[in-house]
């Protein structure tokens, strides 16, 4: 497995060719930064050269001009507690807090976040700045100079294109850890391949290859950005994911231009495991009798979000002795789904509510006849139960005819790159 970094400058998204910059940049195998050649300087005898002292500016502040103290906010500590040793009058602090309301509510400092205090270097060591690290790359600067002020500072974010691959040995998580890939990538891939790859049925030897954007602040990786291309191969089945923007929407397509997005998600949960499948005769774990099980059981912790597998309208919510809390959704005149044993409902999930594919409609629980936390997911076609794992749904959002030629060129180029990832 290899990681290849390429600096990716921020560019406007092309409506038809969103990865045009990638195709150019991937031709560069390495980038060199020539060292600046030291200049030559000829001095006459007894000639001295004085170099000006350069102050180190960061956040627009000359840090070298102050004493620097760093700390971490302890639980139940307020700004006044931290600044009290520096002689800040309550009146002055109240004035600053009133000014900060529209920028940042200083009354809501979070425990375990870092801060920096800058004081003068003279004998008074007066407080000059209090800098609160709100989140990676975002800080709030409280100035206690002649005029009180608070400003927001954002560190420059850079993006890099990365190439990675990983092969399943035991689990997706273990494979990603072994390859050094960020775990956020698993969520991105599950979103893209949600309609075509059963993430609960991954087997040893299944391989993913990915071209993705990784965002950095300084030297720290903070998040995974866009996926510029990916592939999945199980030996008997393979699929590419090629991005394309049409209008205002970006979707992913296979090598032939067929949308990876289908009318229904493969699963109502992102990550879990199947504990019981659709069956015409199963020993009920509680009742201890053999009877049909018209659903698929997914084990997951209580509170795990449950997603609607397709657009539709909620037809029923409620609770009964066996199913526990449940939600039923009609997707169209043919298909409907049911979600049983919930611990609670998603926001706004009531009979008559409209839902979109991927909306949270409830949370995993163990209500009703249940031996432990799980989701019983059921699928109906024309009112009759069918195996959710065998439902074949048509693709949506085809590549428009006027974009097919350009998509073909992009797809061919990307696939060549993806196939070379080791």
What CATH number has the domain bearing residue 362?
2.70.70.10
Count structural domains, the chain: 2
Distance of CA 189 to the CA centre of its chain: 10
* Cα angle value 310/233/296 (rounded, 5°): 40
Structure tokens, 117: 């205090």
pLDDT at 87: 82
Among 154, 180, 195, which residue terminates a domain? 154
Helices (H) and strands (E) in the chain, counts: 6, 25
Whether residue 231 is contained in a domain is answered as no
List of residues 6+ apart from 113 with CB closer than 8 A: 72, 73, 132, 133, 134
d(CA 273, CA 200): 6
Q: What is the DSSP letter of 309?
A: S
Per-residue pLDDT of the chain (422 residues; tens, 9 = 90+): 444 444 333 333 333 333 444 544 443 323 333 333 333 333 333 333 344 444 566 777 888 888 899 999 999 888 888 888 888 877 877 877 777 667 887 777 888 999 999 998 887 788 889 999 988 888 898 888 877 788 888 888 788 899 999 999 988 888 988 988 888 898 889 888 888 887 877 899 999 999 999 888 776 777 888 999 999 999 888 999 999 988 777 889 999 998 888 888 888 998 777 888 877 655 555 556 556 888 899 999 999 999 999 989 999 999 988 889 999 999 887 889 999 999 999 999 999 999 999 999 999 999 988 888 999 999 998 889 999 888 877 677 788 888 999 999 999 999 999 999 98
Whether residue 319 is contained in a domain is answered as yes
pLDDT at 101: 65
d(CA 296, CA 201): 13
Exposure string (b/e) for 325-339, b if CB count within 10 Å is 16 or more?
A: bbbbbebeeebbbbb
Whether residue 210 is contained in a domain is answered as no
Name which of 402, 400, 349, 338 is nearest 375 in CA terms: 338
H-type alpha helices, 102-235? 172-179, 184-192
How many angstroms separate the Cα of 92 from the Cα of each of 117, 153, 396, 420? 17, 22, 60, 62
Domain that holds residue 377: 273-390
Rg, Å, the chain Cα set = 29
Whether residue 414 is contained in a domain is answered as no
Dihedral sign for Cα 289, 293, 298, 301, please.
negative
Whether residue 398 is contained in a domain is answered as no
pLDDT at 249: 78
Whether residue 98 is contained in a domain is answered as yes
Among 104, 123, 154, which residue terminates a domain? 154
Whether residue 37 is contained in a domain is answered as no
Among 124, 154, 184, which residue terminates a domain? 154
Phi, psi of 302 (to 5 degrees): -55, 135
Whether residue 148 is contained in a domain is answered as yes
């Amino acid at each position: 497995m290899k990681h290849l970094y390429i600096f990716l400058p921020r560019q406007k998204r092309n409506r038809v060719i969103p990865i045009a910059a990638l195709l150019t940049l991937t031709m560069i195998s390495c980038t060199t930064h020539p060292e600046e050649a030291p200049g030559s300087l000829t001095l006459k005898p007894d000639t001295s050269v004085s170099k000006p002292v350069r102050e180190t500016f960061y956040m627009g502040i000359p840090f070298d001009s102050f004493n620097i103290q760093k700390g971490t906010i302890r639980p139940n500590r307020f700004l006044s507690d931290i600044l009290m040793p520096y002689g800040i009058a309550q009146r002055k602090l109240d004035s600053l807090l009133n000014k900060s309301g529209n920028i940042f509510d200083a009354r809501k400092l979070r425990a375990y976040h870092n801060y920096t205090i800058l004081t003068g270097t003279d004998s008074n060591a007066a407080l000059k700045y209090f800098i609160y690290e709100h989140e990676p790359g975002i800080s709030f600067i409280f100035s206690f100079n002649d005029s009180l002020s608070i400003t927001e500072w954002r560190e420059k974010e850079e993006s890099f294109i990365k190439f990675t691959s990983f092969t399943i040995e035991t689990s997706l998580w273990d494979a990603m850890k072994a390859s050094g890939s960020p775990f956020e990538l698993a969520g991105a891939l599950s979103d893209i391949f949600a309609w075509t790859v059963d993430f609960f049925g991954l087997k040893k030897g299944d391989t993913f290859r990915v071209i993705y954007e990784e965002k950095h602040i300084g030297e720290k990786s903070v998040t995974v950005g866009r996926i510029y291309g990916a592939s999945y191969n199980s030996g008997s089945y393979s699929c590419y994911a090629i991005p394309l923007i049409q209008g205002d929407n970006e979707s992913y397509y296979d090598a032939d231009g067929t949308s990876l997005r289908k009318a229904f998600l493969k699963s109502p949960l992102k990550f879990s495991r199947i504990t019981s499948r659709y069956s015409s005769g199963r020993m009920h774990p509680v009742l201890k009798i053999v009877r049909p099980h018209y659903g698929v059981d997914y084990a997951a912790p209580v509170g795990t979000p449950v997603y609607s597998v397709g657009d539709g309208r909620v037809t029923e919510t409620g609770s009964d002795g066996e199913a526990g809390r449940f939600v039923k959704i009609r997707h169209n005149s043919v298909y409907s789904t049911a979600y049983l044993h919930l611990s609670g409902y998603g926001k706004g999930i009531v009979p008559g509510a409209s839902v979109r594919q991927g909306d949270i409609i409830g949370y995993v629980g163990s209500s009703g006849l249940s031996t432990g936390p799980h989701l019983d997911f059921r699928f109906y076609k024309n009112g009759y139960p069918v195996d959710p794992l065998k439902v074949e749904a048509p693709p949506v959002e085809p590549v428009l005819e006027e974009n097919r030629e350009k998509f073909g060129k992009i797809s061919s180029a990307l696939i060549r790159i993806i196939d070379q990832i080791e």
